[in-house]
Structure 1
């Protein structure tokens, strides 16, 4: 529990630093700091594939949804039906890329990338779709900086988490092995008891 408290405190500290950096450099990071740092924490903490592959999947999802916004702004009428079609296309594209890379770019990290841009830009886009070219780079840069801070925070204790997960996995495998051995022993005792019973009946006869 102490280790968990430390990790949470470090992540919270980097969230506050994100807002401070935004103030220092004149960036509006207040609105996306929590979203970005939290999603960056997910990318850094989930021990599935290498960190480079997780980050690569994040950027794939991020770019896919940015292209979707570009299509909505320039080519697709902004209706409920068209938004549904774009959503389906983005998810299927992410699925296809995951399959094509044999899962090396995790599907879940692509979804995190999609969520990052949608969470930071959807409201702004809805207000003024024609300003996509001017406003989307600002939204993308802001949330990417916040995500980077979250990933950086998790890198400070990433090795500890990896070691803990491996230990838990080893313990789980040992427990499974012990249970299997116990089941085999029980089965052997039952078989032995059955043989003795049959032998006793044969002698009595």
Structure 2
């Protein structure tokens, strides 16, 4: 409970910082602040070993989804069929990359990476597909910065709350065992007495 509260507050501060930096430096991050902070938080909170695998998987999904936009701009028609083909190719390639890495790059992190660029750039692309080369790099760097801040908020805060919770749990776990050893009895011994079983 404490971990969830502290991590959530950290993400809230991260989202506010993203918007503040956007206003200060003219980065145009307002429309992706909550999305990117949430996705960065997911990336930081979900456990995976090796830890670098989820970050690399995120970047792989991000790049593949960006290439999906490039494919739509260069080859595919701007229609539902074109979008469906691009979505199929991107998700299939994310799955192939995860399988080729033998689980080091999880599928979920690749999907989070794809969601980040799609959420930040889809509306811009739909309004001006011909401006892909000039507008997509700005959208990509913008959302990556925001996701990075969200990821940083969870990776810095969550381990501290985990260590506090683990220390508290270990203390509470030691107390019943100490009392049990002092009494010289345990639940299993009591069950044996009640049922008349002997060892």
Mapped to 1, the partners of 2:143 and 2:100 lie a distance apart of: 28
In structure 1, how many angstroms separate the alpha carbons of the residues matched to 2:105 and 2:66? 18
Deviation at 1:50, TM superposition (A): 3.1
| Aligned residue number for residue 88 of structure 2 | 88
Mapped partners of 1:134, 1:85: distance in 2: 24
Whether the 8 Å contact between 1:62 and 1:114 is mirrored in structure 2 is yes
Cα displacement string for residues 122-161 of structure 1 (whole angstroms, at most 9, x for unaligned residues): 0110011000011101111111111000011012223246
Deviation at 1:6, TM superposition (A): 1.8
Measure how far apart 1:85 and its partner are.
1.2
Structure 2 unaligned runs (5+)? 174-187, 189-194
Counterpart Cα distance in 1 of 2:145 and 2:112:
15
| Distance change (3 Å), C-alpha of 1:3 and 1:90 | closer
Distance, in Å, in 1 between the alignment partners of 2:24 and 2:113 is 26
- CA shift, 1:162, in A, is 5.8
TM-score (norm 1): 0.77
Q: Which runs of 4+ in 1 moved over 3 A?
A: 160-165
Larger radius of gyration: 1
Asked whether the 8 Å contact 2:2–2:161 carries over to 1, the reply is no
Cα gap change, 1:136 to 1:83, in 2 (>3 Å): same
Distance 1:125 1:20 in 2: 25
Q: Look up the match of 2:69.
A: 69
Q: How does 1:186-201 map to 2 (within 5 A)?
A: none
Distance in 2, matches of 1:51 and 1:15, equals: 23
Q: State the alpha-carbon separation in 2 of the partners of residues 96 and 3 from structure 1.
A: 34
Aligned Cα RMSD in Å? 2.4
Instruction: Tell me the distance in 1 between the aligned counterparts of 2:82 and 2:162.
Output: 43
Aligned-pair distance for 1:51?
A: 3.0
Summarize the alignment of residues 8-157 of structure 1 with structure 2, pairs less than 5 Å apart: 8-157=8-157
**How many residue pairs end up in the alignment?**
173
Output the TM-score relative to the length of structure 2.
0.79
In structure 1, the gaps of 5 or more residues are 172-181, 183-188, 190-205
